[in-house]
Structure 1
Amino acid sequence: MAAAAAAEASVDCRNWDEEAYRDSILQQRETLCRTVFRTAFVPSNPGNSTLNPDLIVTACSDGSIASYSISSCLGLGFGNARAAQNLLVAEPNCLIQGHDGPAYDVKFYGYGEDSLLLSCGDDGRIRGWKWKEISVFDVPMRGRNMQPVVNLVNPQHKGPWGALSPIPENNAIAVDTLGGSVFAAAGDSSAYCWDLEKCKIKMVFKGHSDYLHCIVARTSRSQIITGSEDGTVRIWDCKSGKCIRRIDPGNDMNLKDSRPYISCIALDESESWLACGSGRSLSLWNLAACECVSRISTNASIQDVLFDSNQILAVGAEPLLSRFNMSGDIVSQIQCAPQSAFSASLHSSGVVAVSGYGALVDIISQFGSHLCTFRCRGL
């Protein structure tokens, strides 16, 4: 009784701030509902690819583009993936307003300090900043409106009586450093090839019947590969702009999904194998023969996929990082912090970053242990 009385006495209702309390609750809910759609490890200078990663860049649903130091997160004691709700918010090295609306993808164009940091988003823009200018800040830079050196906008389409359509969003980008090009998977069912030097569209790839979710560049053959809401994957020739091959993963699928959309695609290092996420199915294709060599049924929808040598990493609408061999057998499954993971990024050292719902980023070592887990700060 005495302890209860003491606790009641410690609460001073005379200083209660109802508005501040409401704001704190709304801010907490907003933080938990934000999503990191994509991460990218900062590329090392040529010759230093074996070094462990330290910096990672995130693209978030509030339109922010931010960079974080993994070593700083380790020093702050982050790393309890099981207690994701109680994770502290990490302080970014740099936090900028990248887009008006969600930022869906982020890529580096080039290597080292001379590289460009590119992002795309729901506003239909591709924006780029000089990484050298972003990385020079030794103290956290938050809320700064850095002007991009690249600002590309998707074209609007004319309708009846000269009306213009909304600017189609960009859901993903791919880069071709040698060709000086950036490719965008857009919401108007088209893919765009941009000349970065001239900031003009070089080519438009038309043929899909619904908007595009994903895109990769097959630079060794001057091709791009796109995945669409229409359930097909198409391979395009970058010289002619024509579709040279169509892959339909849903043709022989015996699943509950009716022609599920293509959520993600990935090429291996040789650019001979294509992994394709479609609903609750992950398929592996030999591009030379245009043949599906293995198919994996999963418990949840696949949302991102990538190759790690002769293995495939996949994440989706469940808190798992799954690793498969080329025959479709499960090698390992690691519990992750995001309840729904939208991105898996691989560093050359073998470290993997998994990000997704709740603005969470989980850094996993090449041995499968959690190096650190942190929550990204919002604008």
Structure 2
Amino acid sequence: MGVEKMDCTNWDEDSYRDGILQERETLSRTVFRTAFAPNPNPNPNSDHIITASSDGSIASYSISACLEMGCGSARGRNWLMAEPQFLIQGHDGPAYDVKFYDDSLLLSCGDDGRIRGWKWNELLGSEVSMEGAKMKPILDLVNPQHKGPWGALSPIPENNSIAVDSQSGSIYAAAGDSCAYCWDMEKCEVKTVFKGHSNYIHSIVSCKLSNQIITGSEDGTARIWDCKSAKCIQVIDPGKDDKKVSFPSAVSCIALDSSESWLVCGKGQFLSVWNLPARECVSMTKTNASVQDVIFDNNQILAVGAEPLLTRLNMNGDILSQIQCAPQSAFSLSLHPSGVTAVSGYGALVDIISQFGSHSCTFRCRGL
């Protein structure tokens, strides 16, 4: 440390202590989800990326601004702290997911059991949000509580993931009470409850072509539901009959391809690919670490988990490539239409990887 930083005549012990605590807090925060904001400009470097973090914050970062401040050049562990375009307290407790509804409404969910929505244009134009103020959402939905003996109410179950279907005006929530909820956007009330899982639900996707949803749960199964009847029409148990899967694990993540014909499930250290029309598993692949998020990229699969690697596989489960990424444990994958990928996770880190596999931009997110 240089002499100019150890000037005893201007020593401020409180500021020094606060700085150390703030640095430790930043290094222990997690970005649970990212999403690329809608933008008619095809250049991915001009896009905004939205983050949902473990301190309950929802923030937006400009990739071009991060590149200008040098976030693309710092490697090793010296990643720069990026300045958000807006930073708001979205939830009491961790924020787990962010999605866009009709490209105009930014939705988030979290540990407080709420789904909140903000007008995207108002967020970008707001100055008070830069201070971390509680900007009032235009949508605030709260999961129902269950009644017990003598009228006692259960805690509000958390929302671990959300999916949207703007055509039917619905938001689907994967909740901590083992239920999935369908919210009517027009009436702002629950219109369907999906019951059948025996443990809380990690992830949820909407099948718009077939009017179905698919959920992945801590009970080790994924289920396909008919939205009209709210009945489970198929139970998927990855690895149930596979001798390689020797221990029970949760279905931590699921993804659906654009044709809605293929499903990939992450369960512990295994990835399974399912042909939905045939209702059969076509491949099962063991990974080095627990899988925490998956997405389809055309006819290939991208996966991240409890290791600093972005893995690309084909539909047969063969590993095509592995790229080192910044978070030591990655929780989220987002794919831009141009092929640019965002990987985020522990350490409040977001790593932007180009379609060619190079690291375009890596930065730490600022906390509240």
Same fold per TM (> 0.5)? Answer: yes
Distance 1:295 1:229 in 2: 19
Q: Does residue 105 of the first structure (1) align with residue 94 of the second (2)?
A: no
What's the offset of the Cα at 1:17?
2.8
Gaps in structure 2 of 5+ consecutive residues: none
- Match in the other structure for 1:40: 35
What's the offset of the Cα at 1:136?
2.3
2:61 to 68, 71, 81: 68
1:250–1:259 CA contact under 8 A, matched in 2: no
What's the offset of the Cα at 1:131?
0.5
What are the residue-to-residue correspondences of 1:7-156 with 2, within 5 Å? 11-13=6-8, 15-45=10-40, 50-53=42-45, 54-80=47-73, 82-84=75-77, 86-111=78-103, 115-137=104-126, 141-156=130-145
Structure with higher Rg: it is 1
What's the offset of the Cα at 1:354?
0.2
Distance 1:81 1:296 in 2: 34
2:219–2:251 CA contact under 8 A, matched in 1: yes
Name the amino acid aligned to 1:35.
Answer: T
Distance 1:11 1:230 in 2: 55
- Match in the other structure for 2:208: 219
2:129–2:135 CA contact under 8 A, matched in 1: no
What are the residue-to-residue correspondences of 1:250-265 with 2, within 5 Å? 250-255=239-244, 258-265=247-254
Distance 1:280 1:9 in 2: 49
What's the offset of the Cα at 1:146?
1.1
Name the amino acid aligned to 1:69.
Answer: S
2:74–2:80 CA contact under 8 A, matched in 1: no
Distance 1:257 1:27 in 2: 42
- Match in the other structure for 2:176: 187
Gaps in structure 1 of 5+ consecutive residues: 1-6
What are the residue-to-residue correspondences of 1:257-296 with 2, within 5 Å? 258-296=247-285
- Match in the other structure for 2:314: 325
Q: Does residue 178 of the first structure (1) align with residue 170 of the second (2)?
A: no
Distance 1:202 1:35 in 2: 33
TM-score, normalised by the number of residues in structure 2: 0.96
Distance 1:277 1:60 in 2: 22
- Match in the other structure for 2:353: 364
Q: List structure 1 runs of 4+ shifted beyond 6 angstroms.
A: 7-10
What's the offset of the Cα at 1:144?
2.5
Distance 2:242 2:156 in 1: 35
Identity of aligned residues (%): 71
1:257–1:279 CA contact under 8 A, matched in 2: no
Q: Does residue 198 of the first structure (1) align with residue 187 of the second (2)?
A: yes
TM-score, normalised by the number of residues in structure 1: 0.93
Distance 1:72 1:254 in 2: 50
1:349 match: secondary structure: coil
- Match in the other structure for 1:4: none
What is the root-mean-square deviation in Å for CA atoms of aligned residues? 1.8
